[in-house]
Structures are given as structure tokens and as C-alpha cells.
Amino acid sequence: MSFQIKQIQDSENNLKVVEIFNDRSFAKIVLNQGASLQELTLNSVPLIQDLHPLEYQETYASSILFPFVSRVKDGKYWFNGKEYHLETNNASENSALHGFVYNKQFKIIAQKATSEKALVVLEYIETNLTKGFPYTYSIQLTYTLTKASLDVQVEVMNTSNSVFPFTIGWHPYFFSDDLYSSILKFDSDKQVAFDDNLITKEIVDFKNKGAIEIKEQQLDNCFLLNSNKVEFVTPNYTLRIRSSSNNDFLQVYTPPKKNTIAIEPVTGISNSFNNKIGLRELKPKDAYRISWQLKVE
């Protein structure tokens, strides 16, 4: 069966959906929830599922995190000698959380389906100056689905007249039939130590190099990676996650949802706008590109 692309208006839930599929693979993208990937099956293996009863506004499931990942303490930061105040959308911790893109509406600007793969190119253009981030930008997402893989490519362009700071990441949650017996493998010897509000305190040694056995752990951890590869090994499948960017960071989180884990490739850490760890700058009219590939075996 050749790949197909279908647009669906879910009026009951007020969702604008794009589905990409063939007889073995399926991807569901919600355009008005930041073009987030809400369901994914590769080679008949379900990897990403609806997190109901958890709400998207609480989970940020599969959202693109931009212009900052994780938290900015008190929503305040300094850049080029000036103090900025972001909206503190995480009221319980008095922090700004996960950027501005997660709830934006993207539009389809290109699509193509063949017998081997399908892709959609989605775009959001920010023309307003956001509180605490007075810059404009555009984001293009390209989702490419094959029988056994998904590529997520992101291009951010600075359309304003000033350089701006940023980090970027992706927040997917993966399903395992038996999370207790699943293992995360990655190359790291450092991790982030957080305070009670998950704001970075310091970088410390990670003694369990190479692997984390999930078991009964409640995780909300961030690791400094020495490579661009992560493996999620479950009793039923092995998922390989590869980033086009080397030596970035990995955020891992177990939500209050059985057999589910967030495995998040990110280019910065909590409070990067202040501690500068992983922080990048984008000049006017310049573009930044990054991609993440999922491959199931």
C-alpha cells in the first residue's frame, strides 16, 4: 500500500489534524497544537499514543520547544545588557515553561506521498512581539514517514532585525508494554542537579554511565550527551533516536501515565537563558536547522 496523507477537521475536540499512513505505519499531527505528533506507529509497532486522561496543556506531548526548553526561573533573564520578563505560564513554580510554539497553529505548505514514504511541510510565522521575547521568527517542520522510521526536521529563521537567544527541543512520550523492564542507553557522564522547582543548580557526575534501567523510578532528569544517539530498549522493540546535532542534552520524564516515558532531545537545559548552558544566538535573517530521526527495530 502506498503512503497517503489526509486532512481531518475534528470539530468535537476543535482539532485540525493531518494523518500520514500506509498499511504498517501511521502518524497523527495536530496542526493547532503546535503541529505536535500525537500518535505514531512504525512497522506495526505503536510508539506514541494518546495520553488521555492527561491533557495536552499539561504534558506538552510531542511539542516543539522554542525559543527555550524547560524552565526560565521567574520568567526573567538578561540578554545583551537588558533584562526581559517572560510570561510565567507555570504558576506553581513561578517559571516560564517550554517556550511559545506548543499551542500555535501551523499550516501545510507542501506535501508528497509515494510508495516508499510521505512527507508534510508545516509552517508557523510569528509576526507579533511576545512579552519578554520581542522578536519575530518563522518555523518550518518537515515530518517524513517511512515503514520503519520518522524524521522530524526543524528550521527556525530569525525574521526580526535583532539577534535573539534560543534553545530548541522536542517533547515526545513513548509507550512500552512493560516500562519496568525497559532500558535507556546513551553516552553520558554528567547530569543536571535541580532545585525543588527543577531549576538547574549545577552539573554533577552521572555515575551510571551508559544505561538506565527504568524499573520503578520516577524520572525527571537531564543528562549531558557525549554522542547524538539514544536507544530505548523494550521487551517488544528497540527504538533508536538520532539527532543531527552532537553533544546536546537528554531530558527524561515519567508522567503519571502507566508504561509511558518522555525521551526529549534538547539543545539546552533548565534556565539556559540565565546559565547560558547550551544557549545559542540567531542573527537576523539567519536560519538554524536540526533534525531528529526515530527508527524502530
* Domain layout of the chain by residue ranges: 4-296
**Sign of the Cα pseudo-torsion (172, 173, 176, 180, in order):** positive
pLDDT in tens, 154-212: 999 999 999 999 999 999 999 999 999 999 999 999 999 999 999 999 999 998 777 89
pLDDT of residue 246: 85
The pLDDT score that the predictor gives to residue 195 is: 96
Q: What's the confidence (pLDDT) of residue 1?
A: 78
Q: Give how far Cα 155 sits from Cα of 72, 141, 168, 267, 291, Å.
A: 23, 7, 11, 14, 9
Alpha helices in 143-207 (DSSP H): none
pLDDT, position 210: 78
Exposed e or buried b for every residue in 151-164, given b needs 16+ CB within 10 A? Answer: bbbbbbbbebeeeb
Q: How far apart are the first and last CA of the chain?
A: 21
- Please identify every stretch of the chain with a pLDDT value under 50, giving residue numbers as ranges: none
Backbone angles phi, psi at 203, to 5 degrees: -100, 130
* d(C-alpha 203, C-alpha 199), whole Å: 12
CATH number of the domain located at residue range(s) 4-296 in this protein? 2.70.98.10
pTM score, two decimals? 0.95
What size, in residues, is the chain?
A: 297
Burial (Cβ within 10 Å: 0-12, 13-18, ≥19) of residue 111:
middle
Pairing of strands 149-158, 137-145: antiparallel
**Res 41: pLDDT:** 98
